[in-house]
Amino acid sequence: MKDQITTANDGKFLDPYLTAKGEPRASVALSNPQTLWFNTGTLCNIECENCYILSSPTNDALVYITTAEVEAYLDQLEQRKWGVREIAFTGGEPFMNPDMCDMARAALDRGYEVLILTNAMRPMMRKSVQAGLKTLIADFGDKLTFRVSLDHWSPEIHDAERGKDAFAKTIEGMIWLRDQGAHMAVAGRSIWAESDASARAGFAALFTGHDFKIDAQDPAMTVLFPEMDETIEVPEITTACWGILDKSPNAVMCASSRMVVKRRGAQSPAVLACTLLPYSPEFEMGETLEQAERDVQLNHPHCAKFCVLGGASCSA
């Protein structure tokens, strides 16, 4: 993959401090931490066509994180006084992890908002998981949000990415969440020949048809992510770009978040600069939140295309 990046970007993204033209590379400080992410593990019940983290029923490169490990980082949050508002869980499919409901409760009990990214399919629909979720929803209401992966508003396009009947199974899970009174959002993709307005109109009709209380026009409720293709050429971000683009580094995702992962064979979890780069060692910052307080060098195509130029964020 690194070879593909190098070829497509002609020697770019090699030096953490200088661009290919020798200009100073932009960096981002952790200026306003709002979200601490936990990757629950890369195992997933399905294998999508374009999964940026390569989740599948067999990929355990990132293993299940435990409730005790999550609680240790919540302790660190209090010690470091980051002021985080939200604890978020992603995968893989988070509900493959047997500790998912307990981890959510651990964060909710401490007063954090919790965001869980899910495909709302079979792992979430197991009776034991449903029982735990019913209690969490009843106890915490809108403090708990389920962001459901729904790549497109049409079954045909969604299933082309996620497999036969995936759309119907996800809608079934969303109907169950609706009936429990759960707070839902949706994560879609903007990779098809379709305008943003057209995509949002399609989602709006879908939500209305199923009485889902999701605002298709709100980019925090219906998040449309661009395709993260590492082989496409993108510009490097220099320190001068902030002024040229009239953009503050504080608006970039790594100014407000970090992600905790546990790699297969590792003794302890590690803290990453970014949710989008779980396999890039240069974005691993250490085992503690204190170590993760240093600046992030924007030395990857995703930094440019997805965050700085795309303006995307994984948070709610």
**Residues 141-155: tens digit of each pLDDT:** 999 999 999 999 999
In a domain? residue 65: yes
pLDDT at position 50 over 70: yes
Cβ-based burial of 22 (10 A; exposed 0-12, middle 13-18, buried ≥19): exposed
Name the domain count of the chain. Answer: 1
pLDDT at position 39 over 80: yes
pLDDT tens-digit readout, 102-160:
999 999 999 999 999 999 999 999 999 999 999 999 999 999 999 999 999 999 999 99
In a domain? residue 1: no
pLDDT at position 4 over 50: no
In a domain? residue 249: no
In a domain? residue 58: yes
**The two three-digit tokens of residue 70, written as one number:** 């999550």
In a domain? residue 294: no
In a domain? residue 148: yes
Q: Which domain holds residue 193?
A: 31-225
Q: What is the CATH number of the domain that holds 216?
A: 3.20.20.70
**How far apart (Å, rounded) are the C-alpha atoms in residues 11 and 23?**
14
What is the reported pTM?
A: 0.93
Q: Diameter of the chain by CA atoms?
A: 57
Contact present, 45 and 96 (Cβ < 8 Å): yes
In a domain? residue 125: yes
CB contact set of 127 (below 8 Å; sequence gap of 6+)? none
Name the band, by pLDDT with cuts 50, 70 and 90, for residue 226: confident
Contact present, 263 and 61 (Cβ < 8 Å): yes
**The two three-digit tokens of residue 43, written as one number:** 């195992």
Contact present, 70 and 38 (Cβ < 8 Å): yes
In a domain? residue 92: yes
Lowest mean pLDDT of 36-40, 164-168, 232-236, 264-268, name the range: 232-236
